[in-house]
C-alpha cells in the first residue's frame, strides 16, 4: 500500500468521524453516571476506595516523570521530551482530579477529573505522531491538541451549566485517537522502539473502560467495584508508556527512519 493511500485513509476516517458528530443530537451527561456501586465511607473518606484507588496515578506519574526526565536528557530525544513529560504530569493531576471528583461526584467536580485525563491523552497522541509519522508533525500539533482537548472539556462543562449538556466533542477528542492509533501502528510501523508497549496501553485502556462499564457487576462478584479496578488498571498505562520510552534507547539514532518526511 502506497504512502499517500495510507495518509488518505487516516485523513478520510478523521474527517468522516468529525462530520458525523455534527449529525448527532447533543448528548448530556447522564445523572446516573455519578452513582457508583461502592459508596462506602472509610476513615472518614466518602467513596473511599474510588478515592484511594487514585494513588497509583500519582505514584506512577511521579515515577514516570522523574525517570523520563533523566532518560530524555540526551539531545537526540529532545523532540519527544515535552509530550512525554506532559503525559506524566497529566497522570499525576488525574490522580488528584479524580480523587477530588469522587469525594463529591457532580458535574462540577467531574470537570477536574476529565481535564487532566484529556491532557495525558493528547500528549500521548502527539508522541505517537512524532514516532510513527513525522517528528515535526508531532511537535507542531502538541499544543493545538492540548488546547482542543481542554476546550472540549470546558465546552462540555459550560453546556451542562447552561442546561443543555453536550458531550459530543469531548467524546470525539477522547475516542478518535483510540481509533487512529492502532491504524497508525499498523500502517506506519517503525523499528526503533518496542511497539508492543503501545498496544499494551491500548489494551489497558479498553480493559479499564470495561471495568467501569461493569462497575456494579464486578462489585457484586468480587467485593471490589469495577470503577476502583478501572483506576488501578488505567494507572498502569503509565508503566507501559515508560517501558515504551525506555525501549527507544536500545536503538541507534541512525536507525530512526520515519515514514513521512
Q: State yes or no: pLDDT of 258 exceeds 90.
A: no
User: Is 29 in a helix, a strand, or coil?
Assistant: coil
pLDDT value of position 257: 44
| Residue 261 banded pLDDT, cuts 50, 70, 90 | very low
Q: How far is CA 252 from CA 12, 187, 191, 195, 243, in A?
A: 35, 23, 11, 16, 17
* Calpha distance 224→233 (Å, rounded): 13
| Residue 107 banded pLDDT, cuts 50, 70, 90 | very high
Closest CA to 120 of 188, 193, 205, 34: 205
Angle subtended by helix axes 196-213 and 215-222, to nearest 10: 80
pLDDT value of position 75: 57
| Residue 255 banded pLDDT, cuts 50, 70, 90 | very low
Tens digit of each residue's pLDDT (9 = 90 or more) over 27-38: 999 989 999 999
What is the rounded average pLDDT for all residues in the chain?
Answer: 91
**pTM surpassing 0.85?**
yes
Q: How far is CA 119 from CA 4, 12, 192, 217, 219, in A?
A: 30, 25, 26, 30, 30
Q: Where are the domains of the chain?
A: 3-255
Tens digit of each residue's pLDDT (9 = 90 or more) over 122-145: 999 999 999 999 888 989 999 999
* Calpha distance 37→215 (Å, rounded): 6
Tens digit of each residue's pLDDT (9 = 90 or more) over 60-106: 999 999 998 887 766 556 778 899 999 999 999 999 999 999 999 99
- Look at the block and give the residue holding cell 448530556: 28
pLDDT value of position 40: 95
Closest CA to 171 of 144, 152, 146: 152
The answer to whether 43 and 218 have CB atoms below 8 angstroms apart is: no
Neighbouring-strand partners of residue 42: 45
Level-2 CATH architecture, domain 3-255: Up-down Bundle (1.20)
Main-chain dihedrals φ then ψ at residue 22, nearest 5 degrees: -75, -10
- The gap from C-alpha 202 to its chain's centroid, in whole angstroms, comes to 9
Amino acid at each position: 500500500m502506497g504512502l499517500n493511500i495510507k495518509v488518505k485513509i487516516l485523513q478520510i476516517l478523521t474527517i468522516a468521524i468529525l462530520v458525523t458528530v455534527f449529525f448527532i443530537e447533543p448528548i448530556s451527561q447522564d445523572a446516573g453516571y455519578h452513582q457508583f456501586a461502592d459508596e462506602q465511607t472509610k476513615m472518614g473518606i466518602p467513596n473511599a476506595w474510588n478515592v484511594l484507588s487514585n494513588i497509583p496515578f500519582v505514584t506512577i506519574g511521579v515515577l514516570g516523570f522523574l525517570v523520563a526526565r533523566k532518560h530524555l536528557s540526551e539531545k537526540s530525544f529532545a523532540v519527544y521530551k515535552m509530550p512525554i513529560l506532559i503525559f506524566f504530569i497529566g497522570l499525576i493531576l488525574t490522580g488528584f482530579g479524580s480523587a477530588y471528583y469522587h469525594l463529591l461526584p457532580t458535574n462540577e467536580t467531574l470537570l477536574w477529573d476529565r481535564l487532566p485525563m484529556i491532557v495525558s491523552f493528547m500528549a500521548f497522541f502527539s508522541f505517537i505522531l512524532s514516532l510513527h509519522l513525522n517528528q515535526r508533525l508531532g511537535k507542531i500539533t502538541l499544543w493545538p491538541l492540548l488546547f482542543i482537548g481542554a476546550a472540549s472539556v470546558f465546552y462540555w462543562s459550560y453546556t451542562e451549566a447552561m442546561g443543555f449538556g453536550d458531550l459530543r466533542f469531548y467524546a470525539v477528542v477522547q475516542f478518535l485517537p483510540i481509533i487512529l492509533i492502532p491504524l497508525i501502528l499498523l500502517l506506519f510501523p517503525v523499528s526503533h522502539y518496542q511497539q508492543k508497549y503501545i498496544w499494551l496501553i491500548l489494551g489497558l485502556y479498553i480493559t479499564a473502560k470495561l471495568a467501569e462499564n461493569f462497575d456494579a457487576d464486578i462489585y457484586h462478584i468480587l467485593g471490589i467495584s469495577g470503577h476502583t479496578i478501572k483506576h488501578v488498571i488505567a494507572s498502569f498505562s503509565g508503566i507501559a508508556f515508560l517501558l515504551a520510552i525506555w525501549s527507544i534507547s536500545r536503538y541507534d539514532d541512525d536507525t530512526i527512519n520515519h515514514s513521512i518526511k
